[in-house]
Amino acid sequence: MYYVIKKPLVTEKNSFLAEKGVYVFEVEKDATKVDIKKAVEKYFRVKVASVNTATCRGRMKRTKFGVGRTVSWKKALVRLKAGEKIGLFEGA
């Protein structure tokens, strides 16, 4: 179950979302919303209200060897129930 979440995405934009109770993670491409919800609830011991996902397509990149593409990945925006927090994002 823990393999679903790859890493937390910590950016300035995501830190503003974290203040509102929305946390962003990079997840496996084939993970469903139910899988993500179960993994977050089990790993961080919090209650999840909703999960939104977005598939981020890889960009085209030019190299000296020709045109290539970066790897596509999936992110999950996890909204927690009122009063819940994840200490990883709070600096604890």
Per-residue pLDDT of 24-64, as tens digits, reads 999 999 999 999 999 999 999 999 999 999 999 999 999 99
Q: Look up the pTM and report it.
A: 0.87
**pLDDT at residue 92, as a whole number:** 53
25-46 residues labelled b (16+ CB within 10 A) or e (exposed): bebbeebeeebbbebbbeebeb
Stronger pLDDT, 92 or 49, i.e. the higher one: 49
> What's the Rg (C-alpha) of the chain?
15
Averaged pLDDT of the chain: 92
Instruction: Say if residues 24 and 17 touch (Cβ distance below 8 Å).
Output: yes
The residues spanned by each domain of the chain are 2-82
CATH 3.40.50.300 for domain 2-82: no
